[in-house]
Amino acid sequence: RRGHVPAPPLRRAALGLLLQVLLGWGSAQQPGSCPAPCECSETARTVKCVNRNLTAVPPDLPPYARLLFLTGNRLSSLPPGAFLSPPLSPLENRLELADNRLLSLPAGMFSSLPSLQHLDLRNNSLVSLQAATFHSLAQLQSLDLSHNSLKCLKNATIAQLRSRPALRKISLDHNTWVCDCCIEHLVSWLKESDQVEGKGALKCSYPDKIRDKPLVKINSSDLDCSYFSYMTSYVVLVISEIVTFHVFVQCLEQRGLNVIGL
Ligand SMILES: *[C@@H]1O[C@H](CO)[C@@H](O)[C@H](O)[C@H]1NC(C)=O
Ligand SMILES: *[C@@H]1O[C@H](CO)[C@@H](O)[C@H](O)[C@H]1NC(C)=O
Ligand SMILES: *[C@@H]1O[C@H](CO)[C@@H](O)[C@H](O)[C@H]1NC(C)=O
Ligand SMILES: *[C@@H]1O[C@H](CO)[C@@H](O)[C@H](O)[C@H]1NC(C)=O
């Protein structure tokens, strides 16, 4: 008959487990395990480091991560290699960077994530974009840039986004679009493409004359980008520079006279 005392192998296993727990307590994170500020699920292939006031991406994220949530932190800049830490290369699915403080996206920032499908940059402080940032994201399907401070998109950036056939959901609402000549390319893209979701809601923030006018309703007479008006403003600029220079030279001459006068 079996006694009340556990069999030796079982006892040894229990002791081993106890030792492991005691030794593992408070020790450094093992490579590939879940970083302290995050919650990880291997079955869901998800890592969530949400609302933790993080100022940098935690190092050594687990290699199974396919969905990475860094929402609601204090990330204000990310070095080009931010997602290069070796195990993270196959981040295929989703990268959530919403509700941070990102000011710019350096070229090559996402170059280690070539199979990323969904990128959420909502509610950051982005003022402009450069085409090279999106160069490597050939599989991108959705891109959320709403609630930022974008003023204009350059033609090269638009060309980069246009060249992504799978990219069908781009969000650009709640930005501070400046409706001067620079906005021309964005306006004509919006008019002819369905890539931008809810494009009718995009509005000019400046100048006051056409504030709140929908971008899709802007026409050439609103922008006044004619060669003549361009030349006029150029001539005015040149004249004002000449006047400034003249005043500066006069000022110098006066000082020179004073110096000689001493
Ligand atoms: C983040 O910072 C805010 C304000 O400093 C604080 O109230 C909050 O508790 C912090 N959150 C965490 C997870 O540390
Ligand atoms: C933007 O993010 C901040 C925290 O970074 C949050 O307090 C604010 O409510 C968010 N705004 C929107 C419109 O989501
Ligand atoms: C803007 O880009 C488009 C391609 O998307 C091109 O056809 C057009 O010539 C470009 N315009 C300028 C002014 O560079
Ligand atoms: C531009 O739009 C205004 C109304 O906003 C309209 O009166 C004008 O005819 C339009 N001009 C052109 C060239 O389409």
**Does 4 reside within a domain?**
no
Mean confidence (pLDDT) of the chain: 83
The rounded Cα 152 to chain-centroid distance in angstroms is 15
Lining residues, ligand 1, CB within 6 Å: 52-53
**Does 208 reside within a domain?**
yes
Cα-only R_g, the chain: 28
Spell out the residues 6+ positions from residue 135 whose beta carbon is closer than 8 angstroms to its own.
107, 108, 111, 160
226 CB near ligand 4 (under 6 Å): no
Tokens of 185: 């390319």
Of residues 90 and 235, more confidence is placed in 235
Tokens of 229: 């008006």
67-105 confidence digits (pLDDT tens): 999 999 999 998 877 776 544 555 668 999 999 999 999
Lining residues, ligand 3, CB within 6 Å: 155, 159, 162, 185
Give burial (CB, 10 Å; 0-12/13-18/19+) of 190.
buried
Check residue 24 and give its pLDDT. Answer: 40
**Does 257 reside within a domain?**
no
**Does 16 reside within a domain?**
no
Pocket test for ligand 3, best of 134, 163, 185 (most atoms within 8 A of CB): 185
Check residue 186 and give its pLDDT. Answer: 97
Ligand 3, atom 5: closest residue by C-alpha: 159
pLDDT average, residue stretch 169-180: 96
Q: What CATH number should be reported for the domain holding residue 205?
A: 3.80.10.10
Check residue 189 and give its pLDDT. Answer: 96
What are the beta bridge partners of residue 96? 69, 120
Spell out the residues 6+ positions from residue 116 whose beta carbon is closer than 8 angstroms to its own.
91, 92, 93, 94, 95, 110, 137, 139, 140
Domain count, the chain: 1
Task: Find the distance separating the first CA and the last CA of the chain, reported in whole Å.
Answer: 118
**Does 182 reside within a domain?**
yes
Asked if residue 212 has pLDDT above 90, the reply is yes
- Helix, strand, coil percentages (3-state) for the chain, rounded to 5, are 35, 10, 55
Asked if residue 217 has pLDDT above 80, the reply is yes
Please, which pLDDT band fits residue 234 given cuts at 50, 70 and 90? low
Please, which pLDDT band fits residue 188 given cuts at 50, 70 and 90? very high
**Does 195 reside within a domain?**
yes
Check residue 10 and give its pLDDT. Answer: 52
**Does 261 reside within a domain?**
no
6-56 confidence digits (pLDDT tens): 445 555 555 544 444 444 444 455 666 899 999 999 999 999 999 999 999
Please give the residue range of the domain that contains residue 156. 31-250
pTM of full prediction above 0.75 = yes
**Does 105 reside within a domain?**
yes
**Interatomic CA distance for residues 233 and 228, integer angstroms:** 9
**Interatomic CA distance for residues 230 and 241, integer angstroms:** 17
Tokens 């981040």 belong to 91
